[in-house]
Structure 1
Amino acid sequence: MGTPPKVVNGKPTIEVAPCHSADVILARQPGRSSLAQQTVIVIGSSTGGTEALRALLTALPEGMPPILIAQHMPEMFTKSFAARLDSLCKLAVKEAEDNERLQANTVYIAPGHSHLLLKAGPSVGLFTSLNAGPPVNRHRPSVDVLFRSAANLVGKNCIGVILTGMGRDGANGMAELKQAGAYNIAQDEASCVVFGMPKEAIAQGGAHEVLPLTAIAGRLVALAQQRPPQL
């Protein structure tokens, strides 16, 4: 049997889980010089994101930098979602594992049970890191966690994208990316299923451009060509 609800003034109440910030997973490190000379694309999405990601990723050619994605999705679906995208895309798409060295032409989907972060390797290159800590903005994986990790390590060599989704996860992280020198794109309202996440990121000043979904792939290709070569 579950725990009975608390009763206040004779009425049962529902306990709401605390809404943690990214601080519960990793500290922000503003002003830190970028450790990585490798371009990385980070993408956050939620409601409507599965189809938005399919449209975006299938439009990307080979020759792209590593792409890391935090999509709000239960853990039993992320592996099959990655496999489906892998069958459709020119890029390799996989559910991220812990301690993988980032490779060009590869998309890493955060597993539904963990936050996806970046970490510096013992030698050259960047690696994935999975963290099963508390939900952030009531989500695990959280976009804010991925974006903060990229801001801390990749900085100006990062490209951030926020797609359709409910709520505000990713808004703080995108602002941090911008402050670290990254270039950011938000999906426009007309092409979103839910404009919540991009709207909040735009309101916080984190987006350099607001684009329809169909224009984002081409812009990513152009931006990636302006950044450091892949390792």
Structure 2
Amino acid sequence: MGKKIRVLIIDDSASVRQVLTHVLEQDPDIEVMGAASDPFVAARRIQEEVPDVITLDVEMPRMDGITFLRKIMAQRPIPVVMCSSLTEEGSETLLQALEAGAVDVVLKPKIGAADHLAESGMRLREAVKGAAAARLGRAPRPPIAMGTTAKLTADAVLPPPTGRAMAKTTEMVVGVGASTGGTEALRVMLEALPANSPGIVVVQHMPEKFTAAFAKRLNSLCEVEVKEAQNGDPVLRGHVLIAPGDRHMMLERQGARYHVTVRDGPLVSRHRPSVDVLFRSAARAAGGNAMGVIMTGMGDDGALGMNEMHQAGAYTVAQDEATSVVFGMPKEAISHGGVDRVVPLEQIAREILAADRRRH
């Protein structure tokens, strides 16, 4: 077995520190090297031993998590996963954390809620593994196997596509999947698109209630209109729909028009929303009228779905290793044989526009 990922937990609640330690140490690849009640205690601990990953609470006495995060990133960058309570008010703060250099944001596991503890615990362990593999201006650690937990495929939500590619029509729809590092990568991609771009549907792995603030933030920066998807929303040119956290999003077609269905369901590829679910629905509903884009992220969500899109006649693109924070999801999609082109992040918007021009 390789070297364990050593994690430092920073949270002002003793019970939360205990739960986080218990949840993380269920994974044999993770070791909690210590827990600190505030950033000042943590700073002294880091002077003794530098952790591979830090889990950081947002609201703490003496110094808030964002201020501490900025200090870490300025002085000695260490991959940081922000652990937050589920509040809409806190979503804006968490966006600031991602902009300040946090690798990922997860919800704190709830004590006493067994189902929530199992799902949020798995999400926390995956976030820590993704952070350990993240590229922070230095050589990344090799990706770590995601363990042997049973993992559902898109079969749990949608039956497999028939494999018959749909004849091309005039409108193209773009399906995008991203995870660790994806919030910043999506901003770069969407900011480069003009207001008349093809309709885009996005799955970015992130917690419930956080996606609305994320979409609002992107909307303020981009020429395209960006919003959190609601059930039945049409997919329109110049518009981007982002799957709400904790809900699957599927593309559907009525006549020549596309819309999205947003619904509950089991975790697929250990995620809800799942990229595999979105991509499979795009293969079924749009076939050769679709384009698939898979971006930075830990794990393999989207690899099977992108292959299904590719087989249905869609044009498929993956972000390259050099510009990915974690090259897990693009690498898996490439290895499954479903990727037509591998490009740097800055080129993805150009690929979308070029594919759109080829249709007209």
TM-score, normalised relative to structure 2:
0.58
Residue 111 of structure 1 aligns with which residue?
A: 244
Q: Percent identity?
A: 50
- 1:64 partner SS: coil
Residue 215 of structure 2 aligns with which residue?
A: 82
Whole-angstrom distance in 1 between the partners of 2:202 and 2:280: 13
Number of equivalences: 215
Q: What is the Cα deviation at residue 33 of structure 1?
A: 4.3
Which residue identity is paired with 2:280? R
Residue 215 of structure 1 aligns with which residue?
A: 347
Which residue identity is paired with 2:313? G
- Name the one with the larger helix percent: 2
**Which structure is higher in RCO with an 8 Å CA cutoff and minimum separation 6?**
1
- 2:185 partner SS: helix
Q: Please tell me whether the aligned partners of residues 36 and 125 of structure 1 are also in contact (alpha carbons under 8 angstroms).
A: no
Q: What is the Cα deviation at residue 35 of structure 1?
A: 7.3
Whole-angstrom distance in 2 between the partners of 1:78 and 1:33: 32
In the TM superposition, 1:56-205 aligns within 5 A as 56-121=189-254, 123-205=255-337
Cα separation, partners in 2 of 1:118 and 1:35, compared to 1, 3 Å: farther
Q: Please tell me whether the aligned partners of residues 253 and 286 of structure 2 are also in contact (alpha carbons under 8 angstroms).
A: no
Cα separation, partners in 2 of 1:132 and 1:17, compared to 1, 3 Å: farther
Residue 226 of structure 1 aligns with which residue?
A: 358
Spell out structure 1 runs of 4+ moving beyond 4 A.
Answer: none
Residue 9 of structure 1 aligns with which residue?
A: none
Which residue identity is paired with 1:51? E
- 2:316 partner SS: strand
Cα separation, partners in 2 of 1:218 and 1:132, compared to 1, 3 Å: same
- 1:130 partner SS: strand
- 1:60 partner SS: coil
Whole-angstrom distance in 1 between the partners of 2:316 and 2:168: 18
Whole-angstrom distance in 1 between the partners of 2:167 and 2:160: 15
TM-score, normalised relative to structure 1:
0.89
Q: What is the Cα deviation at residue 115 of structure 1?
A: 0.7
Structure 2's unaligned 5+ residue stretches are 1-111, 115-147
Residue 13 of structure 1 aligns with which residue?
A: none
Which residue identity is paired with 2:297? G
Cα separation, partners in 2 of 1:18 and 1:90, compared to 1, 3 Å: same
Residue 180 of structure 2 aligns with which residue?
A: 47
